Amino acid sequence: MSELLQIQRPLPPSLHAMKTSCVNCSMHQLCLPMGLDDSDMNRLDQIIGRRRRVARGESLYRMDDPFRNLYAIRLGHFKTYQFNAGGEQQITGFQMAGELMGMDAISTDKHHCDVAALEDSEVCEIPFQRLEELFGMIPMLLRHFHRIMSQEITREQNAMLLLGNMRAEQRFAAFLINLSSRYAARGYSSTSFQLRMSREDIGNYLGLTIESISRLVSKFRKLGWLGVDKREIQLLDPVRIKALAAGTETCPMA
């Protein structure tokens, strides 16, 4: 919560002037334009409202905001979270470059969650109405859109599996492996990366307390599975962590 209240620093304007288009974007083989030829990609480009910056801790949209746009992440990281009537928060996901946000709003024309930037980030605003018009003209785009929505469903089913029947160690291992493979898909190291979220956020996402996360970090470090320096993480024994995440191996006790 407190992250949201902090002072928001604007980004330098130089970034904004930078040529931004799907064709030039390093994410275009992961993002919505995946598989489109240059001409179709340009058509998609043309409907994109603007590239919008979101400073760390700033909110991109909030629950119940009217739904007009999907957002593709160009740069940075976000978290999506919900509140229940009692005011308790649940983080439903962490998003990174190339991922699409806002699809949960299509059914009711209202956003169902809040989205906040975990670091200074940049998104492409995609007016959904105009995207729908393109669907009729670019079948490939429609198919890919369906794949992305389907992927989102799968992603959340995996989260249910995690929350529903994994023990703490397994959840944390699954969390690390998930990040690892997503960084790998983006061409980054799969064994060495920075956590963009706080321990509290991790705990919230995994259905555990911040103290439990802290203990898990220590435990994995002591086992020699993990190198930890603040939020800088190294998977020293990815095979072991993967096996733990998959449930084919259990965690040695303290």
Partner DNA sequence: CGCTTATTTGAACTTTTTCAAGTCTGGTGG
Partner DNA sequence: CCACCAGACTTGAAAAAGTTCAAATAAGCG
Binding site for a second copy (CB under 8 A): 82, 84-92, 103-108, 112-113, 132, 135-136, 139, 142-143, 146-154, 156-161, 163-166, 204-207, 246-248
Between CA 210 and CA 228 the distance in angstroms is: 16
* 223 near DNA (CB under 7 A): no
- Closer residue to a second copy, CB minimum distance, 2 or 84: 84
Residue 75 or residue 177: which is nearer to a second copy going by CB? Answer: 177
215 touches DNA by CB under 7 A = yes
Give me the least distance between CB of 113 and a second copy, in Å please. Answer: 7
**209 binds, options DNA, a second copy, none, Cβ within 5 to 8 A by partner type:** DNA
Stretch that binds DNA, among 41-49, 74-82, 225-233, 240-248 (CB under 7 A): 225-233
In the complex, minimum distance from the CB of residue 197 to DNA, in angstroms, rounded to a whole number? 8
Residue type at 189 in one-letter notation: S
Contacts of 229 (CB under 8 A, 6+ apart): none
Using CB under 7 A, which of 190, 191, 209, 234 touches DNA? Answer: 209
Note the helical H segments in the chain. Answer: 2-5, 14-17, 38-47, 128-137, 139-165, 168-185, 199-206, 210-222, 238-246
Find all residues with CB under 8 Å of 83, minimum gap 6, and list them. 63, 89, 90, 114
Residue 136: name its binding partner from a second copy, DNA, none (Cβ under 5 to 8 Å by kind): a second copy
Token pair, residue 238, equals 């990815």
Taking alpha carbons only, the member of 106, 75, 78 closest to residue 91 is 78
Number of separate helices (H) and strands (E) present in the chain: 9, 11
State the Cα–Cα distance between residues 233 and 192, nearest whole angstrom.
6
User: Which does residue 132 bind out of DNA, a second copy, none, counting CB within 5 to 8 angstroms by kind?
Assistant: a second copy
The nearest distance, CB 170 to a second copy, in angstroms, is 9
Residue 54's beta-bridge partner residues?
121
The angle that helices 38-47 and 128-137 make with each other, rounded to 10 degrees, is 150
Q: How far is the CB of 34 from a second copy (least distance, A)?
A: 12
Residue 2 touches which of DNA, a second copy, none (Cβ within 5-8 Å per kind)? DNA
The answer to whether 228 contacts DNA (rule: CB under 7 A) is yes
What tokens were used for 196? 């963009």
Interface with DNA, residue 28, by CB under 7 A:
no
Tell me the window of 1-9, 105-113, 136-144, 146-154 that interacts with DNA (CB under 7 A). Answer: 1-9
For residue 93, which of 155, 177, 40 has the smallest C-alpha distance?
Answer: 155
Binding mask 169-208 for DNA (x = CB under 7 A): x----------------------------xxx------xx
